Amino acid sequence: MKTLKMDTLLMLVAAILLLAVNWLAFHDYLEPHTVRDWLLLSASVLVWVQVGRMLWQRLSSTRSAAARRA
């Protein structure tokens, strides 16, 4: 269980760092962006999707466990 919490913490820290880097890359919307900027943005979206999936699975497993107890 502790490993699951550490994995979640590491993924959230990585997602926040990617958000900060994306803000630095895209804060000037008039500036032309490089392929590297767009690749970083797409990688960040994938990380956020995975974080959302993990949280959704955890929420649904918590709900199903509560329903079984009731």
Q: In which band, very low, low, confident or very high, does the pLDDT at 2 lie, cut at 50, 70 and 90?
A: low
Taking Cα atoms as reference points, which of 20, 22, 23, 13 lies closest to residue 40? 22
Say what the pTM is.
Answer: 0.71
Mean per-residue pLDDT for 16-43?
A: 90
Residue 4 has pLDDT above 80, yes or no: no
Q: Are 63 and 27 in contact (CB under 8 A)?
A: no
| Nearest-10 Cα torsion for 15, 21, 23, 28 | -160
State the maximum Cα–Cα separation within the chain, in Å, rounded to a whole number.
57
Alpha-helix residue ranges (DSSP H) falling in the chain: 2-26, 35-69
pLDDT, one tens digit per residue, over 37-60 is 999 999 899 988 988 898 888 888
